[in-house]
Amino acid sequence: MRPITPSHKHKITVLVIDDSALVRQTLCDILNSDPEIEVIGSAGDPILAAEFMRTVVPDVITLDVEMPRMDGLAFLQKLMSQHPIPVVMCSSLTERGNETSLKALEYGAVDIITKPKMGTKRFIEESRVRICDAVKGAAVARLGKMRAMRTMREVQPKYTADVIMEKPNSNAMIQTTEKVVVVGASTGGTVALRVFLEMLPEDTPGIVIVQHMPENFTTAFAKSLDSNCRVTVKEAQDNDTVMRGRVLIAPGNHHVLLKRSGSRYYVEIKDGPLVSRHRPSVDVLFRSAARYAGKNAVGVIMTGMGDDGARGMKEMFDAGAVTIAQDEATCVVYGMPCEAVKSGGVDRIMPLQNIAHEVLRLCS
């Protein structure tokens, strides 16, 4: 355990918990490279972390999934029941790690990051962006809203999308009347999406979703949703058809675009740079919906940190689509919906529990 005296009162303070000394050091270096973040300590397991927190309480904890003496899930459950602190889970890309991290999100963790590893300059920089953004999002997350959403469910250089595709024009294809729904979410979105999707009937119009998650985690997330929803949920693959009763989740680390051939909607999976600091990017999905679905699209933007989706939603709005933003009261982080509202591209603002009904009404 390595306590550090914080030097700047207004920085986001972080405690790093991981049994690997190399991972701890790498995470500390990455987080300390951001002027808004300061690591105040690191610990090799939750027992040492608990001792540290008797004297200093961090704003955010990064928590390894699998550790000796006490695993990450057990520590998370204990923490959330006794002294809730925003937690970002740090996982390897193993199948077990994916499943455990998804459970952690259900137990109260705010976000997931993958363990940093060396690679190309672009890979390292993108990892840094993802890790630092996850911590910043966690720092402003309202944990009470996450608990409320789970209760609600039980009761019921910065790029733009120009780098992926050109802006839509007034000639967006409009020959079909079939509706399609596109959804974007980030911090807090895994719980919000469960609430939304579990309210939908089997014949719901086709839905495409971007949820900011690391690569491989989206596969497990889609399977988890599929087992609890009446609609079919799967991780999107290139050329998958968007059809009634099916929900497609953008694969982590890839952009997803809505396309159309005649009356058939389908998705295209693409690589490319981070857009609005993300890949997949909500802006990319929304822009493609503006171009290929136009007024036949319904756009929904949910809880999340940052402004990804704001520009794309305005383009959908300008193309005649109906656009919905989750309201501040039910958001874990009122960042993305707020920016979309500011852009002038939102038709209606409503609480999470009302969005599914409104989407169905608009598509009827």
Is 364 one of the catalytic residues? no
- Residue from 137, 194, 170 nearest 335 by CA: 137
Q: Which of 34, 35, 54 is nearest to 43 (CA)?
A: 54
Which contiguous run of DSSP H or E holds residue 29?
A: helix 21-32
CA distances from residue 257 to 38, 267, 285, 309, 323 in whole angstroms, order as listed: 37, 5, 5, 13, 18
Q: Which residues contact 340 (CB under 8 A, 6 or more apart)?
A: 301, 309, 310, 313, 314, 323, 325, 346
Q: How far is CA 307 from CA 134, 192, 337, in A?
A: 14, 18, 8
Active site residue 8: no
Buried residues in 207-226 as b, exposed as e (16+ CB within 10 A): bbbbbbbbebbbbbbbbbbb
Task: Decide: 317 and 287 in contact? Cβ < 8 Å.
Answer: no
Residues 71-100: b if buried by 16+ CB within 10 A, e if exposed: bbbebbeebbeeeebbbbbbbbeeeebbbb
Q: How far apart are the first and last CA of the chain?
A: 58
| Whether residue 18 lies in the annotated active site | no
Catalytic residue, from 18, 59, 127, 212: name it.
212
Task: Identify the three-state secondary structure at position 209.
Answer: strand
Task: Write down the catalytic residue from 42, 91, 186, 224.
Answer: 186
Q: What amino acid occupies position 14?
A: V
How many Cβ atoms from other residues are within 10 Å of residue 34's Cβ? 18
Active-site residue among 34, 45, 133, 308?
308
d(CA 155, CA 142): 20
Task: Classify strands 232-235 and 246-249 as parallel, antiparallel or unpaired.
Answer: parallel
Catalytic residue list: 186, 212, 308
